[in-house]
Amino acid sequence: MIPRYAPKEMTELFSDEARFAMWLRVELLATEGWVEVGDVPADAAAVCRDRAPDVDAAFVEAVAERERVTDHDVAAFVDVVQQAVGQPEGSWIHYGLTSSDVVDTALCATLTRAADLLIVASTDLVRALKARANQLIDVPVTGRTHGMHAEPTTYGAKFALWALQADRDRQRLVAARARVAVGKLSGAVGTFSNIDPRVEDHVCHALGLTPTPATQVVARDRHAEYLWACASVGATIENIATEVRHMARSELGEAEEPFKVGQKGSSAMPHKRNPILSERLCGLARVLRSYLSAGLEDVALWHERDISHSSVERVVLPDASALTLYMLQKTKGLMEGLVIHPERALANLTEGSHGLVFSQSVLLALVSGGLSRDAAYRIVQRDARASWEEGRPFREVLDNDAEVTLSKAELDDAFDLSRTLRHVHRFTDALDELAP
């Protein structure tokens, strides 16, 4: 992932140093697991740990140099580690293991740590959305369907629904973490032909992973589920950002992104305050979805293993993790700082719609007064069209229609905004069930 969209705390998990350090941790734990089995002398395992090399830039370069000979990264890594440990103890490094035992177990351990970062950021976003929902639950704004005026809603209702959806994403991340928190050290084709299952148990326990039956590789539906959770986060964020972009349009002016001192909205037009972050988030959501597609392609491998998934995962897993964290962090800031314009929203709701947002209330009042639904619908539809085309208040058109037999009190009730929104707190009541 390019640095622009790569939070440091995530990219560090997938750096070469971190990757080799996790491989080394698996190797040393496996050697100590063999001690418990009784096949490796305890003093030899102790020497392996004591003489284990520091995984720094020099170590990474040494592995790269050796790989230019072996054309195999794990073999090169093992050669460098064994050389650092020295003989005869170094021979116990990678004893009974195949490359995937190390790579897949280390990758799953890394993904659990990545998921932990995502879960924290997801929780923070839910909290931010919940706070704005409670703050704005009574502030009215036009609800729209098909991009057109529908009925009144509130800003708080929007934030509450976003919070509920973001919390479902959080739950998906938790589930995906559990799915990838597995390890395997069962050798070639996964049958434990040359390794004792107790070694696998030892390593997985130390890493906080659950041993899982596998072929030579851990099944890739687990990794695809992780990518699905990331893509789902992106879809939710895109949903939020799209609504912000719409509300920020000049014609609506109901919300705008925070605009800091010194910021420029356009290089040419000084008046502009473009929703650039929301647009960026919508674009990045597309990238996340493409990573999911690649992850699903990795599920079907030949027989007990091939490495067609390996090159894909070196790109999509680190990038998806970094991008998801970036988007979560940016969306939290956007939601906390989103500027709301309630006066403009109220004007759009009332004058802007000529009061047409109350058409259903009028329809139901006429039905309650004895008209058939179809007859009432035709009256309201006709008057609504006249109101819009003539630019007249809907209430005025109704007052002048002899077929509208409603009393002033009944029409007042139909046009009562507080009546329309009397149950809106059900949105925020639902937030009480979310994790704190």
Q: Band the pLDDT of 265: cuts 50, 70, 90.
A: confident
Q: What is the mean pLDDT of residues 90-96?
A: 97
Quick check: 1 pLDDT over 90? Answer: no
The model's pTM: 0.95
- For 399-421, what is each residue's pLDDT tens digit? 999 999 999 999 999 999 999 99
Q: How far apart are CA 172 and CA 353, in angstroms?
A: 40
At 264, phi and psi to the nearest 5? -120, 130
- For 184-197, what is each residue's pLDDT tens digit? 999 999 999 999 99
Q: Which of 316, 340, 364 is the last residue of a domain?
A: 340
Quick check: 270 pLDDT over 90? Answer: no
Predicted pLDDT of residue 91: 96
Domain around 393: 351-431
Q: Average pLDDT over the chain, rounded to whole?
A: 96
Q: Which of 307, 340, 373 is the last residue of a domain?
A: 340
Q: Band the pLDDT of 435: cuts 50, 70, 90.
A: low
Q: What is the mean pLDDT of residues 119-137?
A: 97
Q: How far apart are CA 305 and CA 188, in angstroms?
A: 9
Instruction: Verify whether residue 278 is a known catalytic residue.
Output: no
- CATH code of residue 71: 1.20.200.10
Quick check: 81 pLDDT over 80? Answer: yes
One domain, residues 313 and 364: no
Predicted pLDDT of residue 364: 97
- Would you call 66 helix, strand, or coil by DSSP? helix
One domain, residues 179 and 248: yes
Q: Which residues pair with 339 in a beta bridge?
A: 256
Does residue 312 lie in a domain region?
Answer: yes
> What is the domain count for the chain?
2
Q: Band the pLDDT of 266: cuts 50, 70, 90.
A: confident
Q: Name the active-site residue from 146, 271, 303, 423.
A: 146
Quick check: 151 pLDDT over 70? Answer: yes
Quick check: 102 pLDDT over 90? Answer: yes
One domain, residues 248 and 378: no
Predicted pLDDT of residue 223: 98
Could you please report the per-residue DSSP string of 299-333? S--STT--SHHHHHHHHHHHHHHHHHHHHHHHHHH
One domain, residues 128 and 78: yes
Quick check: 431 pLDDT over 80? Answer: yes
Contact 277, 243 (CB under 8 A): no
Does residue 142 lie in a domain region?
Answer: no
Predicted pLDDT of residue 253: 95
Quick check: 236 pLDDT over 80? Answer: yes
Does residue 345 lie in a domain region?
Answer: no
Q: What is the mean pLDDT of residues 290-299?
A: 96
Q: How far apart are CA 47 and CA 298, in angstroms?
A: 39
Beta strands 255-256; 339-340: pairing state? antiparallel
Q: Which of 45-59, 254-268, 275-289 has the lowest mean pLDDT?
A: 254-268
Predicted pLDDT of residue 14: 97
Q: Name the active-site residue from 266, 308, 368, 418.
A: 266
Contacts of 183 (CB under 8 A, 6+ apart): 104, 105, 108, 109, 200, 203, 204, 207, 209, 210, 211, 212, 218
What percentage of the chain reaches a pLDDT higher than 70?
A: 100
Q: Which of 340, 362, 386 is the last residue of a domain?
A: 340
One domain, residues 303 and 391: no
Q: CA dihedral in degrees (109, 115, 119, 120; nearest 10)?
A: 70
- CATH code of residue 392: 1.10.40.30
One domain, residues 73 and 179: yes
- For 152-190, what is each residue's pLDDT tens digit? 999 999 999 999 999 999 999 999 999 999 999 999 999
Predicted pLDDT of residue 262: 76
Q: What is the mean pLDDT of residues 115-128?
A: 98
Predicted pLDDT of residue 436: 65
- Would you call 4 helix, strand, or coil by DSSP? helix
Contact 195, 97 (CB under 8 A): yes
Instruction: Verify whether residue 146 is a known catalytic residue.
Output: yes
One domain, residues 168 and 305: yes
One domain, residues 43 and 125: yes
Q: Is 151 left (phi over 0), alpha (psi -120 to 50) or beta?
A: beta
Cα 154 to the center of its chain, rounded Å = 25
Does residue 229 lie in a domain region?
Answer: yes
- For 352-390, what is each residue's pLDDT tens digit? 999 999 999 999 999 999 999 999 999 999 999 999 999
One domain, residues 272 and 188: yes
Does residue 143 lie in a domain region?
Answer: no
